[in-house]
Amino acid sequence: MPRYLTMIRVDENNGPEGGPSPELMERMGALIEEMTKAGVLLDTAGLTSTAEGARLRWNKGELTVTDGPFTESKEVVGGYAIIQAKDRGEAFEWTKRFLRIHGEEWDITSELREIAEP
């Protein structure tokens, strides 16, 4: 079965005050449990803010490192999930369910891409 990477993109400067609510975390926990029991979820995690990150770039033989936060970025990857689904349609359905558990106060985007197998 193919594997898919779902990258959750968020605007760090435009999220709900205080981050995810306890209710959202409860709904997310229930969905994660359901996906795990269904054998679909292989791995998932949220990421720390860009203020705690760094960007490394290799360009024309030169390595540069930029410490966060990355003010020029509107959307950043805030979390990810690796799922295994029978096809792209099933991967879409799980991803849509994840997005829908968020309240109207959230503006998030999920980029879904199949993982290339050797």
Domain count, the chain: 1
- Enter the pTM of the model: 0.85
pLDDT of amino acid 76? 86
pLDDT of amino acid 100? 94
| Cα distance between residue 104 and residue 107, in whole Å | 8
Q: Does the structure show a pLDDT above 90 at 11? A: no
For residue 62, the enclosing domain spans: 3-114
68-115 per-position pLDDT tens digit: 887 677 788 999 999 999 999 999 999 999 999 998 888 899 999 999
Give the containing element (helix H, strand E) for 62. Answer: strand 62-67
Between residues 13 and 25, which one has the greater pLDDT? 25
- CATH code (residue 75): 3.30.70.1060
111: Cα within 13 Å, side-chain hemisphere: 10
Number of Cβ atoms within 10 Å of the Cβ of 48: 9
The two counts, helices (H) then strands (E), for the chain are 2, 6
pLDDT of amino acid 88? 96
25-71 per-position pLDDT tens digit: 999 999 999 999 999 999 999 998 888 999 999 999 999 999 988 76
Between residues 108 and 118, which one has the greater pLDDT? 108
